[in-house]
Amino acid sequence: MPRFLHIDYAGREGSVCLSSDGELVRGPIQGDTDVSAFLAPAIESLLKEAGWVVSSLDAISVNLGPGSYTSLRSSLALAQGMAAALEIPLIGISRPILMADFAEIKEGHIIVAFHARADRWATFLFDQNLKQLSHLTIGLEDVFQAAGDIPGISMVILEPGPSSELTKEFNNFKFYKNSSINHIKLANKYYLDKIFCDLTKLKPIYFSDPHITTAKK
């Protein structure tokens, strides 16, 4: 299995870690909103602790968003530059898919929701195979209403936020926190399936979906 550097800067804080053979090796190191001051030193520190040289990396995974405008652009630019310089694959994983994977259910549907703006929440519906079925921006109350209206088993995944009172009325939910450690399982799957980002067309999801290709390493 590959040696991975995982970068996640879609939330308010950043996170980086290393994995190998599908297992965490070092990290995660959490950082604040100053992405430019945090990322490069954190990556250097992790590699030194693991006894790896940067050229020993086999792939890099990065959270594509949606998320903070500045943090996403900076983290994607660094990941893109490293992947190009090292001539290794870059694997981009969207924030909603990472959240849906966190549910770990074998049947039914998954609703993921995270704060978008004001009182509106970006809400995505997935099936158990992580196939996206719909996307809406709605109020938090409507998230729980939708969960109650979907037949079968539904799982609601929320980022921690102003939702503690509402969630008392719905038991089948989890709170998700953005972290690079959440990349490990999906990044290895994407690597084996050769689902890599095209470095010439990579953009945060704020602008457009990333162009995905099955190019080889």
pLDDT at 195 over 90: yes
Query: Binning pLDDT at 50, 70 and 90, where does residue 37 land?
Result: confident
Beta-carbon contacts of residue 48 (< 8 Å; ≥ 6 apart): none
pLDDT at 169: 59
pLDDT at 13: 81
Query: Binning pLDDT at 50, 70 and 90, where does residue 215 land?
Result: very low
Region 21-49: mean pLDDT is 91
| pTM summary value | 0.89
Cis amide prior to 66 (ω within 30 degrees): yes
Query: Binning pLDDT at 50, 70 and 90, where does residue 166 land?
Result: low
**Higher model confidence: residue 127 or residue 205?**
127
**Higher model confidence: residue 182 or residue 31?**
182
pLDDT at 213: 44
Contact 25, 10 (CB under 8 A): no
pLDDT at 127: 94
Query: Binning pLDDT at 50, 70 and 90, where does residue 191 land?
Result: very high
**CATH of the domain spanning 3-94+179-213:** 3.30.420.40
Cα distance between residue 123 and residue 110, in whole Å: 10
On the question of a common fold for 3-94+179-213 and 96-175, the answer reads yes
Region 103-113: mean pLDDT is 92
Q: How do the domains of the chain map onto residue ranges?
A: 3-94+179-213, 96-175
Contact 214, 194 (CB under 8 A): yes
Region 26-50: mean pLDDT is 90
Cα distance between residue 200 and residue 211, in whole Å: 9
Q: Angle formed by the axes of helices 69-86 and 35-50, to 10°?
A: 40
As a whole-number percent, the residues of the chain with pLDDT over 70 amount to: 88
Cα distance between residue 112 and residue 161, in whole Å: 13
Name the burial class of residue 109, with classes exposed (0-12), middle (13-18) and buried (19+) by CB atoms within 10 angstroms of its CB: buried
Return the DSSP state at 10.
Answer: S
Instruction: Write out the two tokens for 173.
Output: 């939910």
Query: What average pLDDT does the structure give for the chain?
Result: 87
With tokens 């980086």, the residue in question is 16
pLDDT at 153 over 70: yes
Kindly report, residue by residue over 46-101, the tens digit of the pLDDT.
Answer: 999 999 999 999 999 999 999 878 888 899 999 999 999 999 999 999 999 999 99
CATH class of 96-175: alpha beta
H helix or E strand, kind and range, residue 78: helix 69-86
Region 173-178: mean pLDDT is 89
pLDDT at 210 over 60: no
